């Protein structure tokens, strides 16, 4: 658990830097979220009221204008990848965040979110706060291990502030960034600093905002039953399909828009028009989905099974389309929206399964498949739904993680087989 080669004085200095980084991460997260909230209210409430246009026309115009601005910003700052999974995978390999890209990504994300994008704020914030850790390390000329530690701590602090939970922030940062320190030293160089940064970020964010990220989705009182653990397995698979479907849709659309990498403004505009059309027809698909998911739960019976499924699939399509066309943002809340929609549909079809079970299990399964972070998925799902669903969530997480791992193994074997079947290169 302790690295015997570490110097105590240097490590204490590093932990002091981690505290500072937790404070910075909380401030950056608070300011960005507050600005997005104010900007969204300005556009979608005040401007909409002042113009008095038809709601569908207004939605189409705002999303199209947002797409145009996104395209211009991407052209100005560069077409940098800001997708959370890719960002953390790259960090796992290099131990660094490219902080020079962060200002452009954050500004583009702000425009994206204010324009009604079906995206969340966590991905650009991860780039900004993780980049702050790398920047701080570069300025102080720290070694590779210390640089990686500060990068982990920046991301963990942001996530902890975002959900006001220090454990969740440290877990997601640890699980998402594969690579670097291994074994027991992971505690010393990753988990301990991440927990410290997360604790500071959580307290600072709560002091600034005055609120905790409390249970968002309330369901009728639920008492755990053994048979619900059986239900959790297929529900976890449904959630896994949601996450895998999103990732497959994203990769397919990225390939589709690959020829447009030299037409960034047009590409961004197409994404905005697509979001505008989907949002005009299905208003609940607009924005990150945090508040809209609560509307789904309240009005599920009125919406109906078929429309719940349509809303879930449309949300996945909108989010993957935006990311593929250069819009910046995260996909945690959109995937939660889609998984909750399907969970509610299952409850309407089979009312004998408590709605808390159908929603908690599908949500946990979807988060695992999309984030490849089982522990964070379990913890976050328990934050969102009443704690009595913990056993159901645990089963759903295991089932989803096993399915995801199995598919990844099959893909790796297929790729290896294809590589072996290729003819050897002829020497020049």
Helix (H, G, I), strand (E, B) or coil at 422: coil
**DSSP states along 200-222:** HHHHHHHHHH----------S--
- CATH T-level topology, domain 8-209: Clc chloride channel (1.10.3080)
Tokens of 121: 């704020």
CATH 1.10.3080.10 placement within the chain = 8-209, 226-416
Is the pLDDT confidence value at 69 over 90? yes
Q: How far is residue 385 from each of residues 235, 297, 378, measured CA to CA in Å?
A: 15, 12, 11
Q: Does residue 30 come out as left (phi exceeding 0), alpha (psi in the -120 to 50 range) or beta?
A: alpha
- Cβ within 8 Å of residue 173, ≥6 positions away: 152, 153, 155, 156, 159, 190, 194
- CATH T-level topology, domain 226-416: Clc chloride channel (1.10.3080)
Note the pLDDT tens digit of each residue in 393-423: 999 999 999 998 888 888 778 877 777 776 6
- Cβ within 8 Å of residue 261, ≥6 positions away: 79, 267
Q: Please tell me the pTM assigned to this model.
A: 0.87
Which helix H or strand E contains 351, and what residues bound it? none
Q: What is the pLDDT of residue 44?
A: 94
Q: How far is residue 10 from each of residues 6, 66, 143, 371, measured CA to CA in Å?
A: 8, 47, 11, 33
Residue scoring higher pLDDT (163 or 280): 280
b/e map 186-221, b = 16+ CB within 10 Å: ebbbbbbbbbbbbbbbbbbbbebbeeebeeebebee
- Cβ within 8 Å of residue 285, ≥6 positions away: 118, 278, 279, 292, 311, 314, 315, 318
Low-confidence winner among 266-270, 318-322, 374-378, 399-403 (lowest mean pLDDT): 374-378
Q: What is the pLDDT of residue 177?
A: 57
- Cβ within 8 Å of residue 311, ≥6 positions away: 282, 284, 285, 296, 303, 337, 338, 341
CA 414 from centroid of its chain's CA atoms: 28
pLDDT confidence band for 171 (50 / 70 / 90): confident
Note the pLDDT tens digit of each residue in 274-314: 999 999 999 999 998 888 888 888 899 999 999 999 999 99
Q: What is the pLDDT of residue 417?
A: 75
Low-confidence winner among 66-70, 100-104, 271-275 (lowest mean pLDDT): 100-104
**Terminal-residue alpha carbon distance, the chain:** 51
């Amino acid at each position: 658990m302790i690295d015997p080669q570490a110097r105590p004085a240097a490590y204490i200095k590093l932990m002091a830097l981690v505290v500072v980084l937790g404070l910075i991460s909380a401030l950056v997260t608070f300011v960005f979220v507050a600005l997005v909230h104010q900007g969204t209210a300005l556009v979608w409430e005040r401007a909409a009221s002042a113009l008095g246009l038809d709601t569908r026309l207004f939605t189409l115009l705002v999303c199209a204008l947002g797409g145009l601005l996104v395209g211009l910003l991407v052209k100005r700052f560069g077409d940098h990848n800001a997708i959370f999974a890719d960002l953390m995978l790259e960090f796992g390999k290099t131990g660094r965040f490219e902080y020079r890209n962060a200002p452009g990504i954050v500004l583009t994300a702000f425009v994206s979110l204010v324009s009604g994008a079906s995206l969340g704020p966590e991905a650009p914030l991860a780039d900004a706060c993780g980049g702050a850790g790398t920047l701080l390390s570069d300025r102080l000329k720290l070694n590779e291990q210390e640089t990686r530690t500060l990068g982990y701590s920046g991301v963990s602090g942001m996530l902890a502030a975002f959900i006001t939970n220090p454990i969740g922030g440290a877990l997601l940062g640890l699980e998402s960034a594969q690579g670097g320190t291994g074994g027991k030293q992971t505690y010393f160089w990753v988990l301990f600093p991440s927990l410290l940064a997360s604790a500071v970020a959580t307290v600072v964010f709560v002091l600034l905002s005055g609120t905790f990220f409390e249970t968002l989705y309330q369901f009728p009182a639920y008492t755990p039953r053994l048979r619900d653990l059986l239900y959790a397995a297929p529900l976890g698979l449904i959630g896994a399909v949601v996450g895998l479907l999103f990732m497959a849709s994203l990769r397919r659309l990225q390939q589709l828009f690959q020829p447009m990498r030299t037409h960034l403004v047009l590409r961004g505009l197409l994404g905005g028009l697509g979001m505008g059309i989907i949002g005009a027809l299905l208003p609940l698909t607009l924005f990150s989905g945090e508040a809209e998911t609560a509307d789904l739960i309240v009005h599920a019976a009125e919406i109906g099974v078929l429309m719940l499924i349509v809303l879930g699939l449309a949300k996945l399509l909108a989010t993957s389309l935006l990311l593929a066309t250069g819009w910046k943002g995260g996909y945690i809340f959109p995937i939660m929206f889609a998984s909750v929609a399907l969970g509610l549909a299952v409850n309407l079809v089979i009312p004998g399964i408590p709605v808390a079970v159908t929603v908690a299990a599908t949500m946990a399964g979807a988060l695992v498949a999309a984030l490849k972070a089982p522990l964070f998925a379990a913890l976050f799902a328990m934050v969102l739904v009443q704690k009595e669903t913990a056993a159901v969530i645990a089963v759903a997480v295991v089932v989803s993680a096993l399915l995801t791992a199995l598919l990844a193994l099959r893909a790796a074997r297929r790729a290896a087989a294809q590589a072996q079947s290729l003819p050897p290169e002829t020497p020049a």
